[in-house]
Amino acid sequence: MKDNRTFKDEAYGAMARFVKALANPTRLEMIDLLRNGEKSVEEIARATATTVANASQHLQILKKLNLVRSRKAGTYVYYSLAGTEVQSLWQLLLKLAYAHVPELHRLMHNKRKSLPHLDERPDPDRFFLLDLRPEAEFHHHHLPGAHNIPFDQLRERLAEIPRDKPIVAYCRGPFCTWADKAVRILRKQGYEAYRLIQDEGFEG
């Protein structure tokens, strides 16, 4: 009878240890970030607004649970998602959080309201599909037919954006703000611009 409890404690404890690895805002952001391809510790730290030492610790927690992998190259260590099922897990958690946490629902709804957007992937022939992520992420993976102008180069490269089609902008994920800002900038310049909503569960 005592064994009974020991077994349950170990089993539910092991399960909780796994879920705990995901139960932190910084680590969730890291997973979201790494969906766009591998990154060095320093890049990850910068993107998640934390110190390198702190980022390293978080990454090791994710690594211990086989959620991320690391690859050493020179003095750099590059982290990436351990498998495609980690992507799916992240998306599922996002969808469920959206359904269960009213503040998140509200937050996304407000963002949505203040910005023209498209819910479906547009036909690349009728729209100019604009990817605002850094070049490396664009090369890692991008929507078919998309054109890459990293956000920090947008103002200098407006000439590359056609004026005879509506523009549809996207970036890293639902919480990435580059596309929002780009839409505002482009509209000020007279473009017909929309943000693309990519992830499931966000129909408001």
Partner DNA sequence: TTCAAATTCAAGAAAAATATTGAATATTTG
Partner DNA sequence: CAAATATTCAATATTTTTCTTGAATTTGAA
Binding site for a second copy (CB under 8 A): 4-5, 7-20, 22-26, 28-29, 32, 49, 65-67, 85, 89, 92-94, 96-97, 99-101, 103-104, 107-108, 111, 174-175, 177
Smallest gap, in angstroms, from Cβ of residue 166 to a second copy?
A: 25
59 makes contact with DNA (CB under 7 A): yes
d(CA 194, CA 192): 7
- SS3 for 193? strand
> 14 vs 53, which CB is nearer to a second copy?
14
- Given 171, 186, 196, 197, the catalytic residue: 171
Tokens 């990436």 found at: 80
In whole angstroms, the minimum distance from the beta carbon of 141 to a second copy comes to 22
Pairing label, strands 147-148, 117-118:
unpaired
1: which 2 tokens?
């009878």
CA 86 to chain centre: 13
Whole-angstrom Cα distance, residue 80 to residue 137? 12
Contact call for residues 138 and 37 (beta carbons, < 8 A): no
78 closest CA partner among 68, 70, 89: 70
| # binding residues, DNA (CB under 7 A) | 25
Residues pairing with 80 in the sheet: 69
Asked if 26 is part of the footprint of DNA (rule: CB under 7 A), the reply reads yes
Annotated active-site residue 171? The verdict is yes
What's the min distance (Å) between Cβ of 27 and DNA? 7
Q: Is the Cβ–Cβ distance between 122 and 160 less than 8 Å? A: no
Q: In angstroms, rounded to a whole number, what is the distance separating the alpha carbons of residues 135 and 138? A: 5
Q: Which is nearer to a second copy, 20 or 139 (CB)?
A: 20
By beta-carbon proximity to a second copy, the closer residue of 48 and 129 is 48
Q: In this chain, which stretch among 55-63, 147-155, 162-170, 173-181 interacts with DNA, using CB under 7 A?
A: 55-63
* Residue 70 touches DNA, criterion: CB under 7 A: yes
Which of the residues are catalytic? 171
Residues of this chain that interact with DNA (CB under 7 A) are 20, 23-24, 26, 40-42, 50-54, 56-61, 70, 72, 74-78
